[in-house]
Copies of this chain bind each other. A is one copy, B any other.
């Protein structure tokens, strides 16, 4: 995964655990793609300060993922749901009942995954 996409995903999940200040700056970098210089000027801190804060946030967010693995789990669920969607389209074309059984199995996998 591209770094910026990974940062965005981690931020979606765990961003609420950052401070307001961290959130503002991290969003400027990761979501709004502003340059470090722009943000430094806007926030009245040094370019290095912005850089360090972003690194620190990366580390905090990766730390949560290392402990909780929720991004990983959500990604897996999404992949399984996409598979179901593809299989329904294939079924509409082929009317192969095996596909329906496969859909049933995959829905069971999602339930297990979410159940702990």
Contact = CB atoms under 8 A, between A and B. Distances in A.
Interface of A: 9, 12-14, 16-17, 64, 67-68, 70, 74-75, 77-78, 81-82, 84-85, 88-89, 91-92, 97, 100-101, 103-104, 107-108, 110-111, 114-116
Q: Which residue of A13, A16, A107, A111 has the most chain B CB atoms within 10 A of its CB atom?
A: A107
Given A13-B68, A70-B70, A114-B74, A104 B81 contact: no
A30 B115 CA distance: 17
Dominant secondary structure of chain A at its interface with chain B = helix
A68 B17 contact: yes
A107 B82 contact: yes
